Amino acid sequence: MDKLTIRDVDWQGKRALVRVDFNVPMDGETITDDTRIRAALPTIRYLLDHGASVVLMSHLGRPKGERNLKYSLRPVARHLQALLPGTDIRFAEDCVGEAATAAAQALPSGAVLLLENLRFHKEEEKNDESFARQLAQLGDVYVNDAFGSAHRAHASTAGVAKFLPAVAGFLMEKEISVMGGALANPARPFVAIIGGAKVSDKIGVLKNLLPKVDALIIGGGMANTFLAVQGHTMGKSLVEPEAFDTARALLQQAGSLGKPLLLPVDLVVAEAFAADAPHAVYPVGQVPQDGMALDIGPATVERYRQTIAGAKTVIWNGPMGVFEMPAFARGTIAIAEAVAAVNGVTIIGGGDSVAAVEQAGLADKMTHVSTGGGASLEFLEGRELPGVAALRDRA
Ligand SMILES: Nc1ncnc2c1ncn2[C@@H]1O[C@H](COP(=O)(O)OP(=O)(O)O)[C@@H](O)[C@H]1O
Ligand SMILES: O=C(OP(=O)(O)O)[C@H](O)COP(=O)(O)O
Ligand SMILES: [Mg+2]
């Protein structure tokens, strides 16, 4: 990587302001997968071992600029304490203002302060300059270790780098080098699998991804929008009409490139978005008016499995269904098994996708488990990520 890293800084007596991606999947106050927290530990440990104090900042979920304790990072601070026993871990109720400033100033070397959710302030996602300056006041050197958020140009991922020396953490460095290496000249067939719920967020990436891959497999919430564009009734399923034009253009692009773009042929349809909702398998086109497609069906799994089995490189982001509910986890687990069995390079990324693969016990069967979903897609697209661009170039 052509960026400075934490190895290039003398940390003795300095306060490191570190952007991490602690946007972990939660069930109430329980962290259901702590991969993203554990992935930041090498950076945190290095800084502490080299005489720094560490101020951590992150977002959690999408609280839309308002303080909402449902999205508090306090449970994450407790978990971090369990992962780093013997380390002084503190928590500040706000990421800016008096509470944050006083706590940062009082922080002795060897101690860690986690700030409350950055997205409790609308200025974060707006990349507001004065908000970025307030964050910058909390440290001497800025470290970005939040690969999972590096595709966002927010105050904590980009703006803050204007006001402090800015370097990469070990996770950021590792993600960029592993993904860059594996995908620079991918062995073929190269198959991308895309699912999940951030449809309008991620659909734009597919346009640049399609020419690079040999087949594009679409499942999960993402598939519903494509099926709707093809004229199928989707009942009460997650569908994003604002993404219809992009989906239509992609179907055309796939046709003119002669690239297989695989969509579900059957779906697991539930009567409600609930773990115990009555559900049944329906062929695409027969989803009842009041039904919700919450997983791909068995015939779809079989088709996807065949394409995956022949792949030499696979990149996967986004679960095939609402895997958090066991009744709708089958498609995701079956696809995870198919990817795990591939004799080639397999990269799975995304906070929720990684949780699903961990839950299936298949994470160590993958070549690389990335902390970034949207970030890895944009990286793969060939874009320079704003969170990386903002860091200091190696001279
Ligand atoms: N058919 C579907 N309808 C609604 N939500 C879905 C569907 N399929 C998958 N999801 C949801 O998508 C979420 C993950 O999406 P996303 O955040 O884009 O993936 P990742 O975190 O892996 O990048 C999961 O919480 C899952 O329940
Ligand atoms: O969870 C994340 O991305 P992912 O769901 O694509 O893996 C990142 O923390 C970014 O979150 P955001 O998509 O709300 O900016
Ligand atoms: Mg996610």
Specify whether 67 is located in the same domain as 162: yes
Site to probe by mutation for ligand 2, drawn from 62, 149, 202 as the one with most ligand atoms within 8 Å of Cβ, is 149
Q: Is residue 90 part of a domain?
A: yes
Instruction: Starting from the CA of residue 317, give the closest ligand.
Output: 1
Specify whether 253 is located in the same domain as 338: yes
Is-catalytic flag, 351?
yes
Atom of ligand 2 at shortest range from CA of 61: 14
Specify whether 103 is located in the same domain as 228: no
Q: Is residue 152 part of a domain?
A: yes
Please pick, among 139, 198, 220, 297, the residue that the annotation labels catalytic.
198
Last residue of a domain, one of 175, 197, 231: 175
Specify whether 166 is located in the same domain as 209: no
Q: Binding residue per annotation — 330?
A: no
Spatial separation of the C-alpha atoms in residues 323 and 332, rounded to whole Å = 7
If residue 140 lies in a helix (H) or strand (E), which one and from where to where?
none
Last residue of a domain, one of 155, 175, 195: 175
Last residue of a domain, one of 148, 175, 202: 175
What six digits make up the tokens of 351? 């906070």
Question: What are 236-295's pLDDT values in tens digits?
Answer: 999 999 999 999 999 999 999 999 999 999 999 999 999 999 999 999 999 999 999 999
Give the sign of the dihedral formed by CA 375, CA 379, CA 384, CA 390: positive
Q: Is 386 in the pocket of ligand 2 (CB under 6 A)?
A: no
Q: Is residue 80 part of a domain?
A: yes
pLDDT of residue 183: 86
Q: Which residues of the chain have pLDDT under 70?
A: none
**Residue type at position 285:** G
Specify whether 98 is located in the same domain as 117: yes
Specify whether 206 is located in the same domain as 133: no
Helices (H), ranges, the chain:
35-49, 74-83, 97-105, 122-125, 129-136, 170-184, 199-202, 206-209, 220-229, 244-257, 298-309, 330-340, 351-359, 374-380, 386-389
Specify whether 26 is located in the same domain as 139: yes
Q: Is 351 in the pocket of ligand 2 (CB under 6 A)?
A: yes
Specify whether 189 is located in the same domain as 166: no
Q: Is residue 389 part of a domain?
A: no
Tally of domains within the chain = 2
Specify whether 165 is located in the same domain as 201: no
Q: Is residue 29 part of a domain?
A: yes
Q: Is 193 in the pocket of ligand 1 (CB under 6 A)?
A: no
pLDDT of residue 350: 98
Supply the CATH number for residue 332's domain: 3.40.50.1260
Q: Position of tokens 């944009």?
A: 378
Q: What pTM was estimated for this model as a whole?
A: 0.97
Q: Which domain holds residue 340?
A: 185-380
Which ipTM was obtained for this model?
0.99
Q: Is 195 in the pocket of ligand 2 (CB under 6 A)?
A: no
Q: Quick one: DSSP state of residue 153?
A: -
Specify whether 154 is located in the same domain as 272: no
- Ligand 1 center–CA 321 separation, angstroms: 6
Please pick, among 169, 351, 373, 387, the residue that the annotation labels catalytic.
351
Question: What are 350-386's pLDDT values in tens digits?
Answer: 999 999 999 999 999 999 999 999 999 999 998 899 9
Specify whether 245 is located in the same domain as 316: yes
Q: Quick one: DSSP state of residue 393?
A: B
Instruction: Starting from the CA of residue 315, give the closest ligand.
Output: 1
Atom of ligand 1 at shortest range from CA of 198: 18
Q: Is residue 192 part of a domain?
A: yes
Q: Is 124 in the pocket of ligand 2 (CB under 6 A)?
A: no
Q: Is residue 26 part of a domain?
A: yes
Specify whether 11 is located in the same domain as 114: yes
Please pick, among 14, 15, 36, 174, the residue that the annotation labels catalytic.
36
Spatial separation of the C-alpha atoms in residues 327 and 304, rounded to whole Å = 20
Q: Is residue 387 part of a domain?
A: no
